[in-house]
């Protein structure tokens, strides 16, 4: 399985690489490989041959993040995708959701997830628990603007949207950072995503 990791010019992309390296040590994911490319149009040359995309965190808003919005436009209906923080927001905006600024920034903030959707193929294994996750953001997706095609899969203590999935496409995203040292469920989440990529490939091969 080959992953294209879109770098939104953020140091956390190397934490994601570290998480991938940990996962690759599991024999079940020994074939996992990845390429890191900056968020410009050249990234599409490499992403075309990838099995799935990970959209990294980054500063600012999706509209300010190079060609990120265009990358989401190009691949949202073509390849499995996992968005983190800025990537989460970019996928949400692609489908018509709105962003709102938080009352105060959540940078290095530890929070606990709740109302985790047990039917979700990525987040569902955490249902019934209250995992700790790390947050680094000043904007959130407005829940009321979430389109019907995006299904909320977890929230924080205040009811803010922390993750969603697409109702029919293999698209998943988290406002929090699975790769953060604060998050105690990052490996579980990313392994579940990769397992879903394999299932999507199997369905497409039929």
104 as an active site residue: the answer is no
* Choice among 94, 137, 177, 185 that is catalytic: 177
137 as an active site residue: the answer is no
**C-beta of residue 38 within 8 angstroms of C-beta of residue 9:** yes
* Choice among 4, 94, 179, 185 that is catalytic: 179
156 bridge partner residues? none
Here the tokens at position 152 are 């909320």
Q: Tell me how many degrees the CA angle 153-89-68 measures, rounded to the nearest 5.
A: 135
* Choice among 4, 85, 93, 166 that is catalytic: 85
Q: How many CA atoms lie within 13 A of 46 on its CB side?
A: 19
For residues 61 and 190, what is the distance between their CA atoms, to the nearest angstrom? 24
SS3 of 145-167: the string is HCCCCEEEEEECCCCCEEEEEEC
Residue that the structure tokens 């949207």 belong to: 161
85 as an active site residue: the answer is yes
Structural element, H or E, at residue 106: strand 99-112
Residues annotated as catalytic are 85, 177, 179
């Amino acid at each position: 399985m080959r992953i294209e990791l879109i770098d939104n010019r953020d140091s956390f992309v190397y934490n994601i690489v570290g998480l991938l390296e940990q996962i690759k040590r599991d024999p079940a994911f020994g074939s996992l490989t990845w390429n890191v490319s900056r968020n410009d149009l050249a990234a599409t040359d490499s992403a075309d041959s990838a099995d799935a995309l990970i959209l990294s965190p980054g500063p600012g808003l999706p509209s300010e993040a190079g060609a990120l919005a265009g990358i989401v436009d190009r691949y949202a209906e073509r390849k499995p995708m996992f968005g983190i923080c800025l990537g989460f927001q970019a996928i949400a905006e692609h489908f018509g959701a709105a962003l709102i600024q938080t009352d105060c920034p959540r940078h290095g903030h530890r929070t606990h997830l709740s109302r985790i959707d047990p039917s979700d193929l990525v987040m569902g294994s955490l249902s019934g628990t209250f995992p700790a996750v790390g947050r680094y953001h000043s904007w959130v997706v407005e829940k009321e603007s979430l389109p019907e095609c995006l299904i909320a899969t977890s929230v924080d203590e205040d009811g803010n949207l922390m993750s969603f999935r697409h109702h029919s496409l293999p698209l998943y995203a988290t406002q929090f950072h699975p790769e953060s040292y604060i998050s105690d469920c990052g490996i579980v989440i990313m392994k579940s995503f990769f397992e879903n990529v394999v299932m999507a490939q199997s369905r497409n091969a039929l």
